[in-house]
Amino acid sequence: MTYRVCFVCTGNICRSPMAESVFRARTEEAGLDGLVEVDSAGTGGWHEGEPADSRTVSVLEAHGYGSGHTARQFHASWFSRLDLVVALDAGHLKALRRLAPTPQDADKVRLLRSYDPAAGDDLDVPDPYYGGMDGFEECLELVEAASEGLLTAVREQVEGHAA
């Protein structure tokens, strides 16, 4: 059975495609690429059909990650096919939990940085869109740091599904 993870930010052109690319690489490195499906979307449809922001693409490629992406909006109907919905900040977390059709679906939503033990109380990945390249580099660092803990949690779920 495939375990499905979807990363969600605002417009699906900066943070969530970055998290999708990084986490897909982590699952492939861990040998889970056939068992875990990784995706992303935005809470809004402003950029639907567009590629990732060029700065996102630049940072991903500079660090050896894939960057092919087309933005889309998250829909409530997706909850039924997803196992985990990963929000990039508290605003996304609230919006997604409000959108969830059932309490069980709302329980599928988690903040990405909650998987990073070094994050402390600051669980938001700041939106780099209105800043310079340093914000995109910081975004990548935060995503990478949380991806290790997320991989551990997903691996436990996948192994539990297989048992």
Using DSSP's 3-state secondary structure scheme, residue 38 falls into: strand
Dist. CA 95–CA 82, nearest whole Å = 16
The answer to whether 52 touches 71, Cβ cutoff 8 Å, is yes
| Catalytic site residue from 6, 9, 14, 139 | 9
Determine the length of the chain. 163
Q: Can 127 be counted among the known catalytic residues?
A: yes
Of 68, 13, 10, the closest CA to residue 42 belongs to 10
The answer to whether 123 touches 49, Cβ cutoff 8 Å, is no
| Catalytic site residue from 6, 14, 15, 26 | 15
Q: Can 9 be counted among the known catalytic residues?
A: yes
The answer to whether 106 touches 100, Cβ cutoff 8 Å, is yes
| Catalytic site residue from 4, 33, 97, 127 | 127
Q: Can 15 be counted among the known catalytic residues?
A: yes
Give the catalytic positions in this structure: 9, 15, 127
